[in-house]
């Protein structure tokens, strides 16, 4: 497989992995705060609506909303692995690096949200109260948790991208 084809394959796989992460993330988010979706996300992604049920639409929104981030990660992975010729090493390194990004994003997103909820719920509410009022949210605390979780997921993803910048030793 030539360099261009490998790079495209890595980019596609990274986008799919990020999309799957987004779909799962949004299913969890919807379970915590349906209002985050009914008041914001369903309107934001109205063009994406299909008639396969609410949960399907939630997953689809999460998938589409994160694919672009996976594509960026895929470009970085493909660039970092450009000198590796052995297919098994390429696959191993690509999967490992992308897994690190996803795990870092998930740990930061869920960890910070859980911490904010258990230790600083008043601070969390103070930060998101105006947004909740603007969108006429009835159950503000779950909304704030999900909003924080979404924000921290991007922060975690950016921090996780640092794993992609580490050099790769192409031996073995």
Give a yes or no: residue 100 inside a domain: yes
d(CA 153, CA 94): 21
Confirm if 15 and 74 have CB atoms less than 8 A apart.
yes
Contact 164, 73 (CB under 8 A): yes
Residue 170 falls inside a structural domain: no
- Report the share of the chain in percent with pLDDT over 90: 37
Least confident range of 18-22, 67-71, 95-99: 95-99
Percent of the chain topping pLDDT 70: 97
The boundaries of the domain holding residue 41 are: 3-165
Number of structural domains the chain divides into: 1
> Residue 122 region, left (φ>0) first, then alpha (ψ -120 to 50), else beta?
alpha
Locate all alpha helices (DSSP H) within the chain, ordered by sequence: 3-32, 34-36, 42-44, 54-80, 87-119, 121-134, 140-165
Query: For residue 30, is it within any domain?
Result: yes
Question: Which residues, at least 6 apart from 108, have a Cβ–Cβ distance to it below 8 Å?
Answer: 152, 153, 155, 156, 159, 160
Mean pLDDT of 118-133: 82
Assess if residue 172 is contained within a domain: no
Query: Per the domain annotation, does 82 fall within a domain?
Result: yes
pLDDT at 170: 59
- pLDDT of the residue at 70: 92
Inform me whether the pLDDT recorded for 47 exceeds 80: yes
């Amino acid at each position: 497989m030539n360099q261009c084809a490998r790079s495209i394959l890595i980019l596609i796989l990274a986008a799919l992995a990020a999309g799957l992460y987004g779909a799962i993330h949004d299913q969890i988010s919807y379970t915590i705060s349906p209002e985050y979706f009914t008041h914001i996300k369903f309107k934001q992604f109205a063009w994406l609506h299909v008639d396969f049920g609410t949960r399907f639409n939630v997953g689809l929104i999460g998938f589409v909303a994160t694919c672009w981030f996976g594509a960026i990660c895929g470009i970085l992975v493909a660039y970092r692995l450009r000198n590796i010729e052995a297919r098994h090493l390429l696959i191993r390194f690509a999967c490992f690096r992308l897994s690190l990004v996803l795990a870092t994003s998930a740990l930061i997103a869920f960890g910070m949200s859980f911490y904010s909820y258990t230790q600083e719920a008043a601070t969390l509410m103070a930060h998101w109260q105006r947004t909740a009022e603007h969108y006429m949210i009835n159950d503000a605390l779950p909304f704030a948790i999900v909003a924080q979780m979404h924000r921290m997921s991007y922060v975690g993803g950016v921090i996780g991208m640092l794993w992609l910048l580490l050099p790769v030793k192409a031996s073995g």
